[in-house]
Structure 1
Amino acid sequence: MISSLIGAVELGLLYALLALGVYITYRILDFPDLTVDGSFTTGGGIAAVMISHGYNAWLSCIVAFAGGIAAGLCTGLLHTKGKINGLLSGILMMIALHSINLRIMGKPNIAIIDADTVLTSVNPWIVLGSMLIIVLLLMNWFFRTDVGLALRATGDNDRMIRSFGANTDTTKIIGVSLSNGLVALSGALIAQQSGFADITMGVGMIVVGLASVIIGEAVFGARNIIHATISVVLGAIVYRIVVALALRVEWLDASDMKVITAVIVIIALVFPTASRAMKQKKMAKKRTEEITGALSKEFKGGDLRA
Protein backbone atom coordinates (compact mmCIF):
# COMPACT_ATOMS: atom_id res chain seq x y z
CA MET A 1 0.00 0.00 0.00
CA ILE A 2 2.71 2.48 1.02
CA SER A 3 4.93 1.58 -1.93
CA SER A 4 2.05 2.06 -4.39
CA LEU A 5 1.29 5.49 -2.90
CA ILE A 6 4.97 6.50 -3.15
CA GLY A 7 4.95 5.35 -6.77
CA ALA A 8 1.77 7.34 -7.38
CA VAL A 9 3.36 10.51 -5.98
CA GLU A 10 6.41 10.02 -8.22
CA LEU A 11 4.16 9.56 -11.26
CA GLY A 12 2.22 12.65 -10.21
CA LEU A 13 5.44 14.69 -10.25
CA LEU A 14 6.24 13.34 -13.73
CA TYR A 15 2.78 14.18 -15.05
CA ALA A 16 2.79 17.59 -13.34
CA LEU A 17 4.66 19.08 -16.32
CA LEU A 18 1.92 17.75 -18.60
CA ALA A 19 -0.70 19.32 -16.31
CA LEU A 20 1.10 22.68 -16.34
CA GLY A 21 1.18 22.57 -20.13
CA VAL A 22 -2.54 21.83 -20.33
CA TYR A 23 -3.20 24.59 -17.77
CA ILE A 24 -1.63 27.17 -20.11
CA THR A 25 -3.96 26.36 -23.00
CA TYR A 26 -7.06 25.26 -21.08
CA ARG A 27 -7.19 27.93 -18.38
CA ILE A 28 -4.96 30.83 -19.43
CA LEU A 29 -5.54 30.88 -23.21
CA ASP A 30 -8.99 29.23 -23.17
CA PHE A 31 -7.76 27.22 -26.16
CA PRO A 32 -9.00 23.60 -26.61
CA ASP A 33 -5.69 22.10 -27.74
CA LEU A 34 -5.73 18.39 -28.59
CA THR A 35 -2.15 18.49 -29.91
CA VAL A 36 -1.21 17.22 -26.44
CA ASP A 37 -1.91 13.56 -27.29
CA GLY A 38 0.62 13.79 -30.13
CA SER A 39 3.26 16.06 -28.60
CA PHE A 40 3.49 13.85 -25.49
CA THR A 41 4.54 10.95 -27.71
CA THR A 42 6.86 13.27 -29.65
CA GLY A 43 8.75 14.04 -26.44
CA GLY A 44 8.94 10.40 -25.41
CA GLY A 45 9.98 9.28 -28.88
CA ILE A 46 12.74 11.89 -29.24
CA ALA A 47 14.16 11.06 -25.81
CA ALA A 48 14.08 7.31 -26.44
CA VAL A 49 15.74 7.59 -29.86
CA MET A 50 18.50 9.88 -28.61
CA ILE A 51 19.23 7.84 -25.48
CA SER A 52 19.25 4.57 -27.44
CA HIS A 53 21.84 6.13 -29.77
CA GLY A 54 24.09 7.09 -26.87
CA TYR A 55 23.22 10.76 -26.45
CA ASN A 56 23.10 12.40 -23.03
CA ALA A 57 19.73 12.01 -21.29
CA TRP A 58 19.60 15.70 -20.29
CA LEU A 59 20.25 16.73 -23.87
CA SER A 60 17.44 14.44 -24.99
CA CYS A 61 15.06 16.27 -22.62
CA ILE A 62 16.05 19.64 -24.09
CA VAL A 63 15.55 18.39 -27.67
CA ALA A 64 12.21 16.82 -26.65
CA PHE A 65 11.13 20.18 -25.22
CA ALA A 66 12.10 21.84 -28.52
CA GLY A 67 10.16 19.17 -30.44
CA GLY A 68 7.05 19.92 -28.40
CA ILE A 69 7.47 23.65 -29.04
CA ALA A 70 7.67 22.94 -32.79
CA ALA A 71 4.43 20.89 -32.62
CA GLY A 72 2.67 23.66 -30.70
CA LEU A 73 4.01 26.25 -33.14
CA CYS A 74 2.40 24.38 -36.04
CA THR A 75 -0.94 24.22 -34.22
CA GLY A 76 -0.74 27.93 -33.41
CA LEU A 77 0.04 28.82 -37.02
CA LEU A 78 -2.82 26.69 -38.33
CA HIS A 79 -5.21 28.50 -36.00
CA THR A 80 -3.94 32.08 -36.28
CA LYS A 81 -2.57 32.30 -39.82
CA GLY A 82 -4.57 29.50 -41.43
CA LYS A 83 -7.77 30.74 -39.74
CA ILE A 84 -8.70 27.18 -38.79
CA ASN A 85 -10.85 26.58 -35.73
CA GLY A 86 -8.73 26.02 -32.61
CA LEU A 87 -10.20 22.61 -31.81
CA LEU A 88 -9.81 21.44 -35.40
CA SER A 89 -6.23 22.76 -35.55
CA GLY A 90 -5.30 20.61 -32.57
CA ILE A 91 -7.03 17.54 -34.03
CA LEU A 92 -5.27 17.95 -37.37
CA MET A 93 -1.87 18.34 -35.70
CA MET A 94 -2.53 15.37 -33.42
CA ILE A 95 -3.29 13.20 -36.47
CA ALA A 96 -0.22 14.46 -38.33
CA LEU A 97 2.01 13.83 -35.31
CA HIS A 98 1.12 10.14 -35.31
CA SER A 99 2.95 9.70 -38.62
CA ILE A 100 5.69 12.16 -37.64
CA ASN A 101 6.31 10.27 -34.40
CA LEU A 102 6.58 6.99 -36.30
CA ARG A 103 9.17 8.64 -38.54
CA ILE A 104 11.09 9.89 -35.50
CA MET A 105 11.03 6.55 -33.72
CA GLY A 106 11.41 4.35 -36.80
CA LYS A 107 9.25 1.68 -35.13
CA PRO A 108 6.23 1.59 -32.78
CA ASN A 109 8.24 0.84 -29.64
CA ILE A 110 11.75 1.68 -28.43
CA ALA A 111 13.20 0.14 -25.25
CA ILE A 112 15.72 2.05 -23.13
CA ILE A 113 15.33 0.03 -19.95
CA ASP A 114 19.08 -0.54 -19.44
CA ALA A 115 20.17 2.94 -20.49
CA ASP A 116 21.31 5.78 -18.21
CA THR A 117 18.58 8.38 -17.80
CA VAL A 118 18.10 11.58 -15.81
CA LEU A 119 16.20 9.52 -13.24
CA THR A 120 18.95 6.93 -12.78
CA SER A 121 21.96 9.26 -12.71
CA VAL A 122 20.66 11.14 -9.65
CA ASN A 123 17.96 10.46 -7.04
CA PRO A 124 14.68 10.80 -9.01
CA TRP A 125 12.99 12.74 -6.20
CA ILE A 126 15.75 15.36 -6.27
CA VAL A 127 15.61 15.58 -10.07
CA LEU A 128 11.82 15.87 -10.28
CA GLY A 129 11.55 18.25 -7.32
CA SER A 130 14.29 20.53 -8.62
CA MET A 131 12.89 20.49 -12.16
CA LEU A 132 9.37 21.35 -11.00
CA ILE A 133 10.59 24.18 -8.77
CA ILE A 134 12.58 25.65 -11.66
CA VAL A 135 9.63 25.33 -14.06
CA LEU A 136 7.21 26.90 -11.55
CA LEU A 137 9.59 29.81 -10.89
CA LEU A 138 10.13 30.40 -14.61
CA MET A 139 6.40 30.19 -15.35
CA ASN A 140 5.48 32.61 -12.59
CA TRP A 141 8.21 35.00 -13.74
CA PHE A 142 7.12 34.72 -17.38
CA PHE A 143 3.45 35.41 -16.65
CA ARG A 144 4.48 38.66 -14.94
CA THR A 145 6.40 39.94 -17.97
CA ASP A 146 4.73 42.10 -20.63
CA VAL A 147 4.43 39.11 -22.97
CA GLY A 148 3.04 36.91 -20.20
CA LEU A 149 0.49 39.52 -19.14
CA ALA A 150 -0.55 39.94 -22.79
CA LEU A 151 -0.96 36.16 -23.04
CA ARG A 152 -3.17 36.08 -19.95
CA ALA A 153 -5.20 39.03 -21.23
CA THR A 154 -5.65 37.26 -24.59
CA GLY A 155 -7.32 34.36 -22.84
CA ASP A 156 -9.55 36.67 -20.78
CA ASN A 157 -10.63 39.00 -23.61
CA ASP A 158 -8.76 38.92 -26.90
CA ARG A 159 -10.82 41.76 -28.42
CA MET A 160 -9.94 44.08 -25.57
CA ILE A 161 -6.23 43.30 -25.71
CA ARG A 162 -6.25 43.84 -29.50
CA SER A 163 -7.73 47.28 -28.93
CA PHE A 164 -4.59 48.13 -26.93
CA GLY A 165 -2.39 47.21 -29.89
CA ALA A 166 -1.30 43.74 -28.79
CA ASN A 167 -0.84 41.03 -31.40
CA THR A 168 -3.07 38.21 -30.13
CA ASP A 169 -1.90 35.86 -32.89
CA THR A 170 1.64 36.04 -31.50
CA THR A 171 0.54 35.52 -27.90
CA LYS A 172 -1.57 32.49 -28.88
CA ILE A 173 1.33 30.94 -30.79
CA ILE A 174 3.68 31.52 -27.84
CA GLY A 175 1.18 30.04 -25.37
CA VAL A 176 0.40 26.92 -27.41
CA SER A 177 4.10 26.37 -28.19
CA LEU A 178 5.13 26.68 -24.54
CA SER A 179 2.29 24.37 -23.49
CA ASN A 180 3.31 21.59 -25.88
CA GLY A 181 6.97 22.04 -24.96
CA LEU A 182 6.12 21.20 -21.33
CA VAL A 183 3.93 18.30 -22.46
CA ALA A 184 6.75 16.87 -24.58
CA LEU A 185 9.19 17.26 -21.68
CA SER A 186 6.77 15.28 -19.51
CA GLY A 187 6.63 12.61 -22.23
CA ALA A 188 10.43 12.44 -22.31
CA LEU A 189 10.59 11.90 -18.55
CA ILE A 190 7.81 9.30 -18.58
CA ALA A 191 9.64 7.36 -21.31
CA GLN A 192 12.83 7.39 -19.21
CA GLN A 193 10.95 6.38 -16.07
CA SER A 194 9.10 3.48 -17.75
CA GLY A 195 12.11 2.37 -19.81
CA PHE A 196 10.45 2.61 -23.22
CA ALA A 197 8.60 4.88 -25.63
CA ASP A 198 5.51 3.66 -27.46
CA ILE A 199 3.61 5.23 -30.35
CA THR A 200 0.36 5.02 -28.34
CA MET A 201 1.75 6.44 -25.08
CA GLY A 202 0.08 9.81 -25.66
CA VAL A 203 -3.47 8.51 -26.13
CA GLY A 204 -5.76 10.15 -23.58
CA MET A 205 -3.10 12.48 -22.15
CA ILE A 206 -5.32 15.53 -22.66
CA VAL A 207 -7.85 13.97 -20.28
CA VAL A 208 -5.12 13.24 -17.72
CA GLY A 209 -3.94 16.85 -17.93
CA LEU A 210 -7.46 18.22 -17.60
CA ALA A 211 -8.15 15.95 -14.64
CA SER A 212 -5.04 17.26 -12.86
CA VAL A 213 -5.98 20.90 -13.55
CA ILE A 214 -9.61 20.52 -12.49
CA ILE A 215 -8.82 18.50 -9.36
CA GLY A 216 -6.09 20.94 -8.35
CA GLU A 217 -8.39 23.95 -8.69
CA ALA A 218 -11.32 22.20 -7.00
CA VAL A 219 -9.31 20.98 -4.00
CA PHE A 220 -6.65 23.67 -3.53
CA GLY A 221 -8.18 26.73 -5.25
CA ALA A 222 -6.60 29.20 -7.68
CA ARG A 223 -6.53 32.71 -6.22
CA ASN A 224 -3.62 33.90 -8.38
CA ILE A 225 -1.15 32.56 -10.93
CA ILE A 226 1.32 31.30 -8.30
CA HIS A 227 -1.40 29.57 -6.31
CA ALA A 228 -2.93 28.16 -9.51
CA THR A 229 0.28 26.59 -10.84
CA ILE A 230 1.09 25.02 -7.46
CA SER A 231 -2.48 23.72 -7.28
CA VAL A 232 -2.08 22.11 -10.72
CA VAL A 233 1.06 20.28 -9.57
CA LEU A 234 -0.70 19.07 -6.43
CA GLY A 235 -3.73 18.14 -8.53
CA ALA A 236 -1.52 15.88 -10.68
CA ILE A 237 -0.28 14.13 -7.53
CA VAL A 238 -3.79 13.76 -6.09
CA TYR A 239 -5.03 12.37 -9.41
CA ARG A 240 -2.35 9.67 -9.49
CA ILE A 241 -3.07 8.76 -5.86
CA VAL A 242 -6.79 8.44 -6.60
CA VAL A 243 -6.02 6.22 -9.61
CA ALA A 244 -3.65 4.07 -7.53
CA LEU A 245 -6.31 3.62 -4.84
CA ALA A 246 -8.99 2.87 -7.44
CA LEU A 247 -6.83 0.15 -9.01
CA ARG A 248 -6.63 -1.59 -5.62
CA VAL A 249 -10.37 -2.30 -5.82
CA GLU A 250 -10.75 -6.03 -6.52
CA TRP A 251 -13.03 -5.78 -9.56
CA LEU A 252 -10.87 -3.12 -11.28
CA ASP A 253 -7.59 -3.70 -13.12
CA ALA A 254 -5.12 -1.78 -15.30
CA SER A 255 -7.30 -2.18 -18.40
CA ASP A 256 -9.93 0.00 -16.70
CA MET A 257 -7.54 2.99 -16.48
CA LYS A 258 -9.39 5.03 -19.13
CA VAL A 259 -12.76 4.49 -17.46
CA ILE A 260 -11.30 5.45 -14.08
CA THR A 261 -9.81 8.61 -15.59
CA ALA A 262 -13.12 9.55 -17.23
CA VAL A 263 -15.04 9.02 -13.97
CA ILE A 264 -12.51 11.11 -12.01
CA VAL A 265 -12.82 13.97 -14.51
CA ILE A 266 -16.62 13.80 -14.44
CA ILE A 267 -16.65 13.92 -10.63
CA ALA A 268 -14.13 16.77 -10.60
CA LEU A 269 -16.26 18.74 -13.07
CA VAL A 270 -19.64 18.03 -11.47
CA PHE A 271 -18.65 18.38 -7.81
CA PRO A 272 -17.80 22.14 -7.81
CA THR A 273 -21.00 22.94 -9.75
CA ALA A 274 -23.13 20.80 -7.46
CA SER A 275 -21.43 22.31 -4.40
CA ARG A 276 -22.14 25.87 -5.60
CA ALA A 277 -25.76 24.95 -6.39
CA MET A 278 -26.22 23.53 -2.88
CA LYS A 279 -24.70 26.63 -1.28
CA GLN A 280 -26.96 28.91 -3.34
CA LYS A 281 -29.97 26.80 -2.41
CA LYS A 282 -29.08 27.00 1.28
CA MET A 283 -28.56 30.76 1.06
CA ALA A 284 -31.87 31.19 -0.75
CA LYS A 285 -33.64 29.05 1.87
CA LYS A 286 -32.02 31.00 4.69
CA ARG A 287 -33.00 34.29 3.07
CA THR A 288 -36.58 33.07 2.60
CA GLU A 289 -36.77 32.05 6.26
CA GLU A 290 -35.45 35.46 7.33
CA ILE A 291 -38.04 37.27 5.18
CA THR A 292 -40.81 34.97 6.39
CA GLY A 293 -39.77 35.54 10.01
CA ALA A 294 -39.69 39.32 9.56
CA LEU A 295 -43.14 39.34 7.94
CA SER A 296 -44.49 37.10 10.68
CA LYS A 297 -43.25 39.54 13.35
CA GLU A 298 -44.85 42.45 11.54
CA PHE A 299 -48.21 40.71 11.33
CA LYS A 300 -48.07 39.75 15.01
CA GLY A 301 -47.17 43.28 15.91
CA GLY A 302 -50.11 44.53 13.85
CA ASP A 303 -52.50 42.15 15.60
CA LEU A 304 -51.29 43.30 18.98
CA ARG A 305 -51.83 46.97 18.10
CA ALA A 306 -55.29 46.11 16.82
Structure 2
Amino acid sequence: MPSFLIVHSVIQDGRFDAYRQPPTLDIGGLRAPLDWGDITLHVPAGDLPVTVYVVRTDGQIEGAKITVRAPAGTGTRLTFIPPLQPGGTSQLRIDGQWAADSSMHYYAARDARVLAAPTHPLPPVGEGRSRAASGVRIVAPAAAPLAPPAQAVGPTPGSTASVPPSPSSFGHEQGARVDPVQASPAHPAPGAAGPAQPQPSFGQRQPPAIPTPEEFDRLEREAGAAQARAYEAWAAQQRATSHEQPAQHDGAPRPIGLVAANAGQAQPAWYPDPFRRAELRWFDGQQWTSSVMRGGARAHDLPG
Protein backbone atom coordinates (compact mmCIF):
# COMPACT_ATOMS: atom_id res chain seq x y z
CA MET A 1 0.00 0.00 0.00
CA PRO A 2 1.51 3.37 -0.99
CA SER A 3 2.35 6.21 1.33
CA PHE A 4 1.81 9.87 0.63
CA LEU A 5 3.64 13.08 1.43
CA ILE A 6 1.77 16.40 1.45
CA VAL A 7 4.24 19.30 1.36
CA HIS A 8 2.95 22.81 2.09
CA SER A 9 5.40 25.58 1.05
CA VAL A 10 4.79 29.18 2.08
CA ILE A 11 6.73 32.48 2.07
CA GLN A 12 6.50 34.61 5.20
CA ASP A 13 6.54 37.98 3.42
CA GLY A 14 4.88 36.82 0.17
CA ARG A 15 7.87 37.90 -1.98
CA PHE A 16 7.81 35.27 -4.71
CA ASP A 17 10.14 37.38 -6.85
CA ALA A 18 12.95 36.75 -4.32
CA TYR A 19 13.32 33.16 -5.60
CA ARG A 20 14.19 31.68 -8.94
CA GLN A 21 11.51 28.98 -8.77
CA PRO A 22 9.30 27.19 -6.22
CA PRO A 23 10.99 24.80 -3.76
CA THR A 24 12.37 21.37 -4.64
CA LEU A 25 11.79 18.14 -2.71
CA ASP A 26 14.69 15.70 -2.29
CA ILE A 27 14.17 12.22 -0.79
CA GLY A 28 17.29 10.09 -0.70
CA GLY A 29 18.74 11.74 -3.82
CA LEU A 30 15.50 11.61 -5.84
CA ARG A 31 13.84 14.96 -6.50
CA ALA A 32 10.52 16.45 -7.52
CA PRO A 33 9.56 20.10 -8.10
CA LEU A 34 7.06 21.64 -5.69
CA ASP A 35 4.76 24.66 -5.82
CA TRP A 36 4.03 27.46 -3.39
CA GLY A 37 1.10 25.83 -1.64
CA ASP A 38 0.20 22.13 -1.31
CA ILE A 39 1.68 19.31 -3.37
CA THR A 40 0.77 15.63 -2.78
CA LEU A 41 2.89 12.78 -4.15
CA HIS A 42 3.51 9.07 -3.67
CA VAL A 43 6.58 8.16 -1.58
CA PRO A 44 8.07 4.84 -0.53
CA ALA A 45 7.24 3.56 2.94
CA GLY A 46 9.87 3.66 5.69
CA ASP A 47 12.22 6.25 7.20
CA LEU A 48 12.65 8.94 4.55
CA PRO A 49 15.48 11.54 4.60
CA VAL A 50 13.49 14.52 3.32
CA THR A 51 15.15 17.76 2.16
CA VAL A 52 13.25 20.79 0.90
CA TYR A 53 15.21 23.73 -0.49
CA VAL A 54 14.74 26.82 -2.62
CA VAL A 55 17.20 28.97 -4.62
CA ARG A 56 17.16 32.75 -4.21
CA THR A 57 17.66 35.05 -7.18
CA ASP A 58 21.27 35.67 -6.10
CA GLY A 59 22.00 31.92 -6.14
CA GLN A 60 21.82 31.44 -2.34
CA ILE A 61 20.28 28.06 -1.40
CA GLU A 62 17.94 27.99 1.61
CA GLY A 63 16.48 24.75 2.90
CA ALA A 64 16.17 22.20 5.66
CA LYS A 65 16.33 18.45 6.19
CA ILE A 66 14.28 16.11 8.35
CA THR A 67 13.77 12.35 8.60
CA VAL A 68 10.14 11.26 8.24
CA ARG A 69 8.89 7.84 9.33
CA ALA A 70 6.15 7.02 6.81
CA PRO A 71 4.48 3.64 7.40
CA ALA A 72 2.70 2.00 4.48
CA GLY A 73 -0.84 3.30 3.92
CA THR A 74 -0.33 6.69 5.60
CA GLY A 75 -0.19 10.31 4.56
CA THR A 76 2.21 12.76 6.24
CA ARG A 77 1.93 16.53 5.97
CA LEU A 78 5.03 18.77 6.07
CA THR A 79 5.33 22.55 6.09
CA PHE A 80 8.35 24.34 4.60
CA ILE A 81 9.04 28.05 5.26
CA PRO A 82 12.26 29.67 3.99
CA PRO A 83 13.85 32.41 6.13
CA LEU A 84 12.97 36.06 5.69
CA GLN A 85 16.61 37.11 5.31
CA PRO A 86 19.31 35.25 3.40
CA GLY A 87 21.35 33.02 5.66
CA GLY A 88 18.55 32.50 8.18
CA THR A 89 17.10 29.23 9.37
CA SER A 90 14.47 27.55 7.24
CA GLN A 91 11.52 25.81 8.90
CA LEU A 92 10.59 22.23 8.02
CA ARG A 93 8.13 20.54 10.37
CA ILE A 94 5.68 17.65 10.49
CA ASP A 95 2.09 18.83 10.88
CA GLY A 96 0.42 15.43 11.18
CA GLN A 97 0.00 11.93 9.86
CA TRP A 98 -3.20 10.10 8.92
CA ALA A 99 -4.37 6.91 7.28
CA ALA A 100 -4.33 7.19 3.49
CA ASP A 101 -7.72 7.79 1.87
CA SER A 102 -9.19 8.37 -1.58
CA SER A 103 -8.56 12.12 -1.42
CA MET A 104 -4.78 11.58 -1.17
CA HIS A 105 -4.91 9.32 -4.23
CA TYR A 106 -6.86 12.03 -6.06
CA TYR A 107 -4.45 14.86 -5.22
CA ALA A 108 -1.38 12.76 -6.01
CA ALA A 109 -2.82 11.94 -9.43
CA ARG A 110 -3.82 15.58 -9.98
CA ASP A 111 -0.40 17.04 -9.03
CA ALA A 112 1.49 14.34 -11.02
CA ARG A 113 4.84 14.81 -9.25
CA VAL A 114 7.29 11.91 -9.59
CA LEU A 115 10.55 11.49 -7.72
CA ALA A 116 13.39 11.14 -10.22
CA ALA A 117 17.16 11.35 -10.30
CA PRO A 118 18.33 14.97 -10.78
CA THR A 119 20.12 16.10 -13.90
CA HIS A 120 22.45 18.34 -11.87
CA PRO A 121 23.09 16.77 -8.47
CA LEU A 122 23.09 18.95 -5.36
CA PRO A 123 26.02 18.47 -2.99
CA PRO A 124 25.09 15.81 -0.37
CA VAL A 125 23.61 17.03 2.89
CA GLY A 126 24.93 15.64 6.16
CA GLU A 127 25.37 16.65 9.76
CA GLY A 128 29.12 16.89 9.34
CA ARG A 129 28.96 19.38 6.46
CA SER A 130 28.56 23.13 6.92
CA ARG A 131 25.87 25.19 5.24
CA ALA A 132 28.47 26.90 3.07
CA ALA A 133 29.55 23.52 1.68
CA SER A 134 26.15 21.87 1.33
CA GLY A 135 23.95 24.90 0.82
CA VAL A 136 21.26 23.38 3.10
CA ARG A 137 20.84 23.83 6.85
CA ILE A 138 19.77 20.77 8.89
CA VAL A 139 16.87 21.37 11.24
CA ALA A 140 16.60 17.90 12.81
CA PRO A 141 18.51 14.73 11.93
CA ALA A 142 15.51 12.54 12.77
CA ALA A 143 11.93 13.13 13.74
CA ALA A 144 10.45 11.68 16.93
CA PRO A 145 8.49 8.43 16.39
CA LEU A 146 4.91 9.24 15.47
CA ALA A 147 1.79 7.73 17.01
CA PRO A 148 -0.16 5.16 15.00
CA PRO A 149 -2.25 6.67 12.21
CA ALA A 150 -5.57 8.10 13.35
CA GLN A 151 -8.88 7.83 11.59
CA ALA A 152 -8.75 9.08 8.04
CA VAL A 153 -9.44 12.80 7.76
CA GLY A 154 -9.11 15.30 4.98
CA PRO A 155 -11.01 16.61 1.98
CA THR A 156 -13.26 14.46 -0.12
CA PRO A 157 -12.19 13.63 -3.69
CA GLY A 158 -12.70 16.58 -5.98
CA SER A 159 -12.36 19.31 -3.36
CA THR A 160 -9.48 21.78 -3.11
CA ALA A 161 -9.00 21.82 0.66
CA SER A 162 -5.74 20.89 2.33
CA VAL A 163 -4.99 17.69 4.22
CA PRO A 164 -5.73 17.98 7.11
CA PRO A 165 -8.39 20.65 6.55
CA SER A 166 -7.53 24.08 7.92
CA PRO A 167 -10.15 25.75 10.14
CA SER A 168 -12.19 28.34 8.32
CA SER A 169 -15.01 30.72 9.15
CA PHE A 170 -16.57 30.17 5.73
CA GLY A 171 -20.28 29.43 6.12
CA HIS A 172 -20.44 30.51 9.75
CA GLU A 173 -22.10 33.81 8.78
CA GLN A 174 -24.31 32.44 6.06
CA GLY A 175 -27.99 33.15 6.46
CA ALA A 176 -27.50 36.66 7.87
CA ARG A 177 -30.05 39.04 6.37
CA VAL A 178 -28.88 42.46 5.20
CA ASP A 179 -31.62 44.94 4.33
CA PRO A 180 -30.16 47.97 2.49
CA VAL A 181 -33.43 49.88 2.91
CA GLN A 182 -33.44 49.75 6.71
CA ALA A 183 -31.56 52.63 8.34
CA SER A 184 -29.05 51.91 11.06
CA PRO A 185 -30.19 53.01 14.57
CA ALA A 186 -26.65 54.29 15.26
CA HIS A 187 -26.86 56.69 12.28
CA PRO A 188 -30.40 58.19 12.13
CA ALA A 189 -31.44 60.16 9.11
CA PRO A 190 -30.73 63.93 9.27
CA GLY A 191 -33.59 65.84 10.89
CA ALA A 192 -35.29 62.72 12.20
CA ALA A 193 -37.03 63.17 15.55
CA GLY A 194 -36.39 59.62 16.69
CA PRO A 195 -34.93 56.33 15.51
CA ALA A 196 -35.42 55.68 11.81
CA GLN A 197 -38.35 53.41 11.11
CA PRO A 198 -37.49 50.38 8.95
CA GLN A 199 -38.91 50.54 5.48
CA PRO A 200 -40.22 47.47 3.65
CA SER A 201 -37.76 45.91 1.25
CA PHE A 202 -38.31 45.51 -2.46
CA GLY A 203 -41.17 43.08 -3.10
CA GLN A 204 -42.54 43.46 0.44
CA ARG A 205 -44.56 46.70 0.06
CA GLN A 206 -48.17 46.36 1.20
CA PRO A 207 -51.00 47.07 -1.30
CA PRO A 208 -53.34 50.03 -0.55
CA ALA A 209 -56.28 49.28 1.72
CA ILE A 210 -59.65 48.54 0.07
CA PRO A 211 -62.15 51.35 0.86
CA THR A 212 -65.32 50.57 2.77
CA PRO A 213 -68.73 51.00 1.05
CA GLU A 214 -69.32 54.27 2.92
CA GLU A 215 -65.95 55.63 1.89
CA PHE A 216 -66.47 54.46 -1.70
CA ASP A 217 -69.84 56.28 -1.83
CA ARG A 218 -68.24 59.43 -0.43
CA LEU A 219 -65.50 59.29 -3.07
CA GLU A 220 -68.15 58.86 -5.79
CA ARG A 221 -70.08 61.92 -4.57
CA GLU A 222 -66.92 63.98 -4.43
CA ALA A 223 -66.01 62.94 -7.96
CA GLY A 224 -69.52 63.83 -9.20
CA ALA A 225 -69.38 67.23 -7.52
CA ALA A 226 -65.96 67.94 -9.03
CA GLN A 227 -67.29 66.98 -12.45
CA ALA A 228 -70.30 69.29 -11.99
CA ARG A 229 -68.06 72.20 -11.01
CA ALA A 230 -65.84 71.59 -14.00
CA TYR A 231 -68.87 71.55 -16.31
CA GLU A 232 -70.28 74.76 -14.83
CA ALA A 233 -66.93 76.48 -15.31
CA TRP A 234 -66.77 75.27 -18.90
CA ALA A 235 -70.36 76.41 -19.62
CA ALA A 236 -69.67 79.86 -18.14
CA GLN A 237 -66.58 80.17 -20.34
CA GLN A 238 -68.62 79.17 -23.39
CA ARG A 239 -71.31 81.77 -22.63
CA ALA A 240 -68.69 84.46 -22.12
CA THR A 241 -66.93 83.75 -25.40
CA SER A 242 -70.05 83.15 -27.54
CA HIS A 243 -71.50 86.11 -29.49
CA GLU A 244 -74.37 84.21 -31.09
CA GLN A 245 -77.99 84.47 -30.01
CA PRO A 246 -79.28 81.33 -28.28
CA ALA A 247 -81.19 79.03 -30.58
CA GLN A 248 -84.80 77.99 -29.96
CA HIS A 249 -83.89 74.60 -28.57
CA ASP A 250 -80.65 75.46 -26.69
CA GLY A 251 -80.51 74.22 -23.12
CA ALA A 252 -81.94 70.76 -22.54
CA PRO A 253 -81.75 69.08 -25.96
CA ARG A 254 -84.66 67.09 -27.25
CA PRO A 255 -84.27 63.44 -28.26
CA ILE A 256 -83.07 62.92 -31.81
CA GLY A 257 -85.47 61.27 -34.25
CA LEU A 258 -88.20 60.56 -31.68
CA VAL A 259 -91.91 60.70 -32.38
CA ALA A 260 -93.95 62.37 -29.67
CA ALA A 261 -96.19 59.92 -27.83
CA ASN A 262 -98.62 62.51 -26.49
CA ALA A 263 -98.48 66.27 -26.39
CA GLY A 264 -95.11 66.09 -28.13
CA GLN A 265 -93.38 64.28 -25.20
CA ALA A 266 -91.14 61.18 -25.58
CA GLN A 267 -91.58 58.10 -23.42
CA PRO A 268 -89.03 57.30 -20.64
CA ALA A 269 -86.36 55.03 -22.19
CA TRP A 270 -82.72 54.78 -23.30
CA TYR A 271 -81.93 56.97 -26.29
CA PRO A 272 -78.70 57.86 -28.15
CA ASP A 273 -76.84 60.41 -26.08
CA PRO A 274 -77.55 63.83 -27.63
CA PHE A 275 -74.41 65.19 -25.94
CA ARG A 276 -72.20 62.65 -27.79
CA ARG A 277 -70.36 61.65 -24.59
CA ALA A 278 -71.88 58.18 -24.28
CA GLU A 279 -73.65 55.56 -26.35
CA LEU A 280 -77.04 55.85 -24.57
CA ARG A 281 -78.60 58.27 -22.07
CA TRP A 282 -81.78 57.77 -20.02
CA PHE A 283 -84.71 60.13 -20.69
CA ASP A 284 -87.24 60.06 -17.83
CA GLY A 285 -90.10 61.55 -19.84
CA GLN A 286 -89.35 65.08 -18.66
CA GLN A 287 -85.62 65.63 -19.09
CA TRP A 288 -82.32 63.97 -19.76
CA THR A 289 -80.72 62.34 -16.70
CA SER A 290 -77.12 61.69 -15.71
CA SER A 291 -77.43 57.91 -16.23
CA VAL A 292 -75.52 56.82 -19.35
CA MET A 293 -74.31 53.57 -20.90
CA ARG A 294 -70.73 53.15 -22.12
CA GLY A 295 -69.67 49.80 -23.56
CA GLY A 296 -72.59 48.03 -21.89
CA ALA A 297 -71.70 49.43 -18.44
CA ARG A 298 -73.72 52.02 -16.61
CA ALA A 299 -71.96 55.26 -15.69
CA HIS A 300 -72.68 58.72 -14.28
CA ASP A 301 -72.40 61.83 -16.49
CA LEU A 302 -74.20 65.12 -15.87
CA PRO A 303 -76.27 66.28 -18.88
CA GLY A 304 -75.46 69.43 -20.74
Larger relative contact order, structure 1 or 2 (CA cutoff 8 Å, min sep 6): 1
Which structure's residues are more often strand, by fraction?
2
Q: Which protein shows a greater Rg?
A: 2
Which structure's residues are more often helix, by fraction?
1
Q: Same fold (TM over 0.5)?
A: no
State TM-score, norm by structure 2. 0.24
